Structure 1
Amino acid sequence: MLEEKPEPSTPTAPAPPPALLLRPRREPFEYGLLPISKLIFSDGILTLGPVKEKLLQASPDGRVSETQLAEALQIPPDYACLTIDTLASVLPADPDPNAGADVHDLILFLYIQTYKRLLPRTHKDSAAVADVWPSTSAFDGYLSALSPLQLVRSNSRRFIPSQSDEEAHQLSYLQKHMANIIALLAEPVEGEGDESLVLTSERFEHLGFLIQFGEKGCEGIPLSQATPFFANSDPDMPAAPVPAAQVHDWVSQHITAALEHNAEKAMAKENGPTADLDVTMADAFLNQTRPQSNSSQSGTSMHTTCAYSRSQSFVEGFSKASVVKQTCDIKGHSLKVLNCHDSVIYILAPLRYATVYGCSDTTIVLGAIGKAVRIEHCERVQVITAAKRICIANCRECIFFLGVNQQPLIVGDNHKLQVAPYNTFYAQLEEHMAQIGVVPTVNRWDEPLVLGMVDPHDSLSHPAGVSDAQAESATRLDPDLFTNFLIPNWYGSESPQSTKYNPFPLPEIYLSSQRKKYSILNDVQQALRDIEIEENKKRELACALHVHFKDWLYASGNIRQLYCLQGD
């Protein structure tokens, strides 16, 4: 008779599953870098250590106001406000807007201002690269001679670093600087001096600003619960502080494991096709196409395109197309629109972050964005968005129809930008705005804040021989050119709570212009009704109007929008 084996007991402090890899939080690196020289401390801990102590002395509760920050760093009040607002937009959780910034979060935010997006390795095929790019990498700083459109339309899209490339570089940066970062969070043991630094569980949690544990698209687990020294500690009886050196060793081991994992994936991809969700965005597509009813034109359809990669969705590479994404099409809280040309993109969903990069001659509607929008290296795009904040970098001849709660930030080398008030709505807009906290009664669309022309964090914006000169600002759109933008109601999801009008009040000058246009339109319509001509002449007139309208639809490219409307 076989002896029964006792059931294994459940451990009280289980280690995290081996499948959970350490990941960098992308948001601070993608949306949290400000080109303000006084925020960039190149010597790291030597300067930031005294800054931290100065801030803690000024604010015993550990929360820093805009005034205290401006005084400590000797920066203008509007820069201090921008710094605290930007930090709030990239924190893992929503902070209390009236409580100021946590000192330790702020110090980490200031530390990573030294991050520069330089690709850590050159491309293998240097001859092929030289044939297309004037350098071996899109991050090397030699592409500034190209316009945004030339940059993204070159034949070398594959040389633009992928999400995996960027994540690997963020990990490498953290690996290099983690000892300093942990030292800034640590505190000396009483009576033993700075040589013996320890980290409490509370201080350790601040590292969650920069790193997280999680598998693919999940939000991850609390950082302290992933550690062997803080896991399952009782809030009423916190775990004892841990030596900073021990914490550094543990974090470094996980960063090394994550880098090795990324390298293995990259090698597997080079050796053959793999099921990799973190490959280049162009390779990550999952296409779903719904043909329009009543459309006789071949090749005209409305696309709902989903490309997912760890809590992000992508819309990439569309040309002469209409693209629609609703809430059900979005995975995660972040979306990127990349390399789209001569198209109309509708993102009708609540999101925390959105990026538009390398697009041209395209209209992009971004529903409701609760944290930040970044528009970069675009030409002749129209962006319509309701958002907490927006940053515009290195764009040309673009128009932005904005409903924004914070000042639009303009950085880099921009030309002929225009801003205008928000000009559209869709049925779920106000519901989406309420979900992510965009306030319709506050719209600072016409208060752009302009920083320097050279962004130290983006080597693509470094024009040769140009110093940190003042960047070009944006002008207000002529009210006579302001029009409402119609979003078709494809899915018929109307309800008593549906948004019926633009939720952002229009300034009087734009409202008057609209009324004037409506009046002229009504007069023309009435004149056509009242005209006294023979019936056959009326038919000829209607036919001529239809022909001219059809010619305009084809010439302007708006014929695609007509096909979309047919699906309504």
Structure 2
Amino acid sequence: MPHRRGGASEERKSPACVCLQIWSSRVSRVEGTLQGASPDLALWGQEPSTSQSSLCPFGGAPRSSSCHFHRLVLLRTTLHHYPYAKKPFHTDVHRDNMDQSGVLLWVKAEPFIVGALQTPPPSKFSLHYLRKISAYVRTRATEGAYPRLYWSTWRHIACGKLQLAKELAWLYFEVFDSLVVRTPEERLEWSEVISNCTSEDEVEKQRNQLSVDTLQFLLFLYTQQLNKVSLRTSLIGEEWPSPRNRCQSPHVTEKPTCHDKNWNDYSHQAFVCDHLSDLLELLLEPEQLTTTFHSTHSSLVSREAVVALSFLIEGTVSRATKVYPFHELALSQPLHAESGFSKISKTFSFYKLEAWLRAHLTGNPFGTSACLKSGKKLAWAHQVEGTTKRAKIACNTHVAPRMHRMVVMSQVYKQTLAKSSDTLVGAHVKIHRCNEAFIYLLSPLRSVTIEKCRNSTFVLGPVQTALHLHGCDNVKVIAVCHRLSISSTTGCVFHILTPTRPLIFSGNQTVTFAPFHTHYPMLEDHMARTGLATVPNYWDNPMVVCRESSDTSVFRLLPPCEFYVFIIPFEMEGDTTEIPGGLPSVYQKALAQREQKIQIWQKTVKEARLTKDQRKQFQVLVENKFYEWLINTGHRQQLDSLVLPAAGSKQAAG
């Protein structure tokens, strides 16, 4: 959660996770009244690790509390933590060689992957208005505006001066907080506080105690320009303002033609380089600017402003294996001459600092491009010859430090893939152009982006920050996540548990929301590690965020008569034996009524006193109808894909 008065944040640790292998067994898992056996997912052993960062689950209207809080907190506080076997990345910067020619700086990926919403920002987030906000907050330092910006002050600025709706103002405030390091206990505590509120006024009273770093928040608001649609750039072919800017029926082997700026590290670097002067000027004290809000040759940048830049930039030095926040490098004694820092004034020369930044900004060594180019190819527990040879799955977890882990999956076709291992823990995951696939990622994840997938099902472990879908058709997603957002989707179904309102951006058609309806043995353990609780849960209260329309007819809530629980067809160690938080009463009632019908039918058959031959004939008829149903619903393909291939084509999950 954002900083609370008198609160303090702690360093987070990441969990030990179980590596699984799928063993041979046909499963008769179906969605409906029929139950089936689950094939074993053999335990391969535990890998030592540390727990991951967590996210603050908060949302809109209050809902009832739950005893699950105490269970999650207990799980979290009784975990055993182990150190990484890798060398540490964060140590004392002054112990390393500070040869200025060896300094490498790059733009961090997470502020764009998680922080930049995949929708054009409000027009009032332009540089002109942000400069006015920057000057205004400094004049209101005693009123909760600077150096930390309280929710009540931001609400006043956003609603009173920028004319934004309060829900939109809270959205950006909360999204920024999802980038801030918090312990799982702090996140769970905030969820409990909000769940115990009985009115909107009580919720607002609790929010008024929250604050964020003012200068970093200004940078965050400016980064929303990443997805701004520009008619000028449209004329030269960079983009075109279409609500559904994607290929309607991409082939699984087709090369991608559209760029996802949130995951494109070249776009991140270009954005910062193109707007570096504006970003620096946004952080300047008012007296360092002209009347038109521009810098002068003698402008000085405060130490606090340089610390704020660490929100976007980090780096390292030659022959070092450590990653440092930007301000630690800029303030290092051997680099003062280059970075423009003065020990006397405790400030930086604006032009020296800008020149130093431009001279040393380079590509992100842990970004998507590096992952695709030199990342480690993953081996999965299921891999069938022929149908999955085209699949491309890579990760950088063997070289990347915590918070930089990345997994990219592309072109998985007609296959079931399942994984739960340390490779996935805390990773940013991108799933791209998958078709007729069933993918299970049963580990705590940092963020997930699913793009241009069709006719597929994704079952995810708890997602600490953002789960985003773009350009998908006929996709089902089952997940516990801090935030869900969707754009340009058609016919997709979302079974989710989320403490924030789902975000519906532009270009969506026939979206269905439904309650989270599955579990696996380590689910509550993973939720505790990520700070995600069972309440509040706003799966049924989406927020339409698009300029062209606020029409709520774009989505529906799944009718109870269409609801079935989902059985994850693997076994693993753990304590979770039921759906966390249970089901809403109307859906639980629908399941009970269906179960009652089954019992009545079974009783009718039993009382019919059929002969042995009649029972055999009746069994054949039922099985034929069952197989016919499997084929018509597409479940036959999923069951077939769960059969372990021949030993020669099997690879262990790694």
Q: Normalised by the size of structure 2, how large is the TM-score?
A: 0.67
Measured in 2, the distance between the counterparts of 1:183 and 1:221 equals 23
Post-superposition CA distance 1:477-511 (Å, at most 9, x none):
1011111111022xx4324xx11000023211111
| Match of residue 562 from structure 2 | 481
| Match of residue 518 from structure 2 | 424
* Inter-CA distance 17–117: structure 2 relative to 1 (3 Å threshold): farther
Residue 501 of structure 1 pairs with residue 578 of structure 2: yes
Output the amino acid matched with 2:307: E
| Match of residue 537 from structure 1 | 614
- Kindly report the root-mean-square deviation, in angstroms, between the aligned alpha carbons of the 2 structures: 4.1
Indicate conservation of the 8 Å contact 2:480/2:498, yes or no: yes
Measured in 2, the distance between the counterparts of 1:37 and 1:192 equals 26
Post-superposition CA distance 1:525-553 (Å, at most 9, x none):
33334431221221122122222222332
Match of 1:223 among 295, 302, 326: 326
Indicate conservation of the 8 Å contact 1:41/1:47, yes or no: no
Indicate conservation of the 8 Å contact 1:300/1:563, yes or no: no
Give the SS at the match of 2:271. helix
Measured in 2, the distance between the counterparts of 1:165 and 1:398 equals 22
Residue 72 of structure 1 pairs with residue 157 of structure 2: yes
Measured in 2, the distance between the counterparts of 1:510 and 1:417 equals 19
Measured in 2, the distance between the counterparts of 1:47 and 1:398 equals 41
Give the SS at the match of 1:80. helix
Give the SS at the match of 1:184. helix
Output the amino acid matched with 1:250: W
| Match of residue 377 from structure 2 | 286
Following superposition, the deviation at residue 422 of structure 1 comes to 0.5
Measured in 1, the distance between the counterparts of 2:149 and 2:463 equals 26
Output the amino acid matched with 1:527: T
Match of 1:211 among 307, 313, 321: 313
Residue 141 of structure 1 pairs with residue 240 of structure 2: yes
Following superposition, the deviation at residue 556 of structure 1 comes to 2.9
Output the amino acid matched with 2:579: N
Measured in 2, the distance between the counterparts of 1:291 and 1:181 equals 47
Following superposition, the deviation at residue 241 of structure 1 comes to 2.5
Give the SS at the match of 2:473. coil
Indicate conservation of the 8 Å contact 1:316/1:338, yes or no: yes
Measured in 2, the distance between the counterparts of 1:214 and 1:473 equals 47
Output the amino acid matched with 1:365: V
Output the amino acid matched with 1:86: V
Residue 25 of structure 1 pairs with residue 108 of structure 2: yes
Q: Normalised by the size of structure 1, how large is the TM-score?
A: 0.76
Residue 159 of structure 1 pairs with residue 257 of structure 2: yes
Following superposition, the deviation at residue 388 of structure 1 comes to 1.1
Measured in 2, the distance between the counterparts of 1:187 and 1:15 equals 29
Post-superposition CA distance 1:110-130 (Å, at most 9, x none):
2122223789xx9xxxxxxxx
> How many pairs align?
502
Post-superposition CA distance 1:353-403 (Å, at most 9, x none):
111111111111121011111111111111111011111111111111110
Match of 1:186 among 284, 296, 306: 284
Match of 1:308 among 395, 398, 412: 395
Post-superposition CA distance 1:90-121 (Å, at most 9, x none):
346679875322211211112122223789xx
Residue 242 of structure 1 pairs with residue 242 of structure 2: no
Measured in 2, the distance between the counterparts of 1:189 and 1:36 equals 29
Measured in 2, the distance between the counterparts of 1:33 and 1:104 equals 16
Match of 2:221 among 80, 98, 110: 110
Give the SS at the match of 1:336. strand
Indicate conservation of the 8 Å contact 2:244/2:506, yes or no: no
Match of 1:251 among 354, 357, 365: 357
| Match of residue 51 from structure 2 | none
Measured in 2, the distance between the counterparts of 1:486 and 1:545 equals 22
Residue 525 of structure 1 pairs with residue 599 of structure 2: no
Give the SS at the match of 1:420. strand
Match of 1:37 among 107, 110, 122: 122
| Match of residue 101 from structure 1 | 212
Indicate conservation of the 8 Å contact 1:92/1:209, yes or no: no
* Inter-CA distance 432–12: structure 2 relative to 1 (3 Å threshold): closer
Post-superposition CA distance 1:319-352 (Å, at most 9, x none):
2111112133427521011111112111111012
* Inter-CA distance 146–354: structure 2 relative to 1 (3 Å threshold): closer
Output the amino acid matched with 1:334: H
Measured in 2, the distance between the counterparts of 1:89 and 1:243 equals 32
Measured in 2, the distance between the counterparts of 1:452 and 1:31 equals 19
* Inter-CA distance 395–20: structure 2 relative to 1 (3 Å threshold): farther
Indicate conservation of the 8 Å contact 1:355/1:373, yes or no: yes
Following superposition, the deviation at residue 147 of structure 1 comes to 6.2
* Inter-CA distance 555–566: structure 2 relative to 1 (3 Å threshold): same
Output the amino acid matched with 1:313: V
Alignment of 1:124-523 (within 5 A): 140-141=239-240, 149-150=248-249, 152-153=250-251, 156-161=254-259, 166-187=264-285, 195=296, 196-213=298-315, 220-227=323-330, 229=332, 240-255=346-361, 257-258=362-363, 277-279=370-372, 286-290=377-381, 306-309=393-396, 311-330=405-424, 333-453=427-547, 467=548, 473-489=554-570, 492-495=571-574, 498-523=575-600
Match of 2:634 among 554, 557, 561: 557
Output the amino acid matched with 1:112: T
Structure ranking higher on relative contact order (CA contacts 8 Å, 6+ apart): 2
Post-superposition CA distance 1:447-489 (Å, at most 9, x none):
1111125xxxxxxxxxxxxx56657542111011111111022
Output the amino acid matched with 1:111: Y
Indicate conservation of the 8 Å contact 2:437/2:457, yes or no: yes
| Match of residue 63 from structure 1 | 148
Indicate conservation of the 8 Å contact 1:408/1:445, yes or no: yes
Measured in 2, the distance between the counterparts of 1:110 and 1:405 equals 22
Give the SS at the match of 2:445. strand
Measured in 1, the distance between the counterparts of 2:411 and 2:289 equals 61
**Identity of paired residues, percent?**
20
Following superposition, the deviation at residue 46 of structure 1 comes to 4.4
Give the SS at the match of 1:209. coil
Measured in 1, the distance between the counterparts of 2:564 and 2:523 equals 19
Output the amino acid matched with 1:223: F
Unaligned runs of 5+ in 1: 1-9, 123-133, 267-275, 454-466
Indicate conservation of the 8 Å contact 2:138/2:145, yes or no: no
Measured in 2, the distance between the counterparts of 1:409 and 1:440 equals 19
Post-superposition CA distance 1:284-319 (Å, at most 9, x none):
682525459xxxx98799999841146210222112
Give the SS at the match of 1:351. coil
| Match of residue 199 from structure 2 | none
Indicate conservation of the 8 Å contact 1:320/1:342, yes or no: yes
Q: Which moved more, 1:330-339 or 1:15-24?
A: 15-24
Give the SS at the match of 1:342. coil
Indicate conservation of the 8 Å contact 2:226/2:261, yes or no: no
Indicate conservation of the 8 Å contact 2:376/2:394, yes or no: yes
